[in-house]
Amino acid sequence: MSTEPDLAARLTRLEDLEAIRALDARYCRHLDDGNWDDLMTLFTDDGEFDGLSNPRGKIEMRAFFAGLADGGLTSFWHFITNLEIEIDDDTAVARSFLWQPCVLDGVASIAAGRYTDELVKQDGRWLYRVKRVRFHFFGPLADGWDENRFALDSARAAAVNP
């Protein structure tokens, strides 16, 4: 019995997993650095960001991300952990936790939540079709950062007033 086809399939899966991890790293780097044009290369032409707003297509998404500073968000740094990836041929779903120190209206703040992304493989590379973020916590850093702040009420407040 030959293991060659199984080995080739496993190798392809590992390459896809690594490509999706690298895509997430580039997303964080481009977003944190304000490289909006490079950020848009990570999405399909009809891609969508579902989060604080719901822009669709690269033109709307670029305007949204570039406009974050107008809404008071002047600095942010993304930390993504526990990336889980499910691949089905040329589509994938990726889930991760997000921890984001940021400056909002001049106040050092902290946000935490989850990304749930839908990806497609086009022309041999993985792209976001939908990048979805939900914040479960958002507050001034001076108010503290501990597990007691991750209550249902703080999650509801973050969802209603992101």
Query: Are the C-beta atoms of 115 and 94 separated by less than 8 Å?
Result: yes
- CA dist 46 and 139 (Å) reads 33
Give the pTM.
0.81
DSSP element (H, E) containing 143: none
Q: What pLDDT does 9 receive?
A: 86
Question: For the segment 106-160, what is each residue's pLDDT rounded down to a tens digit?
Answer: 888 888 889 999 999 999 999 999 999 988 877 787 776 554 444 445 545 555 5
DSSP element (H, E) containing 57: helix 57-66
Question: For the segment 42-88, what is each residue's pLDDT rounded down to a tens digit?
Answer: 999 999 999 878 999 999 999 999 888 788 888 878 888 888 999 99
Tell whether the model's pLDDT for residue 12 goes beyond 70: yes
Tell whether the model's pLDDT for residue 5 goes beyond 80: no
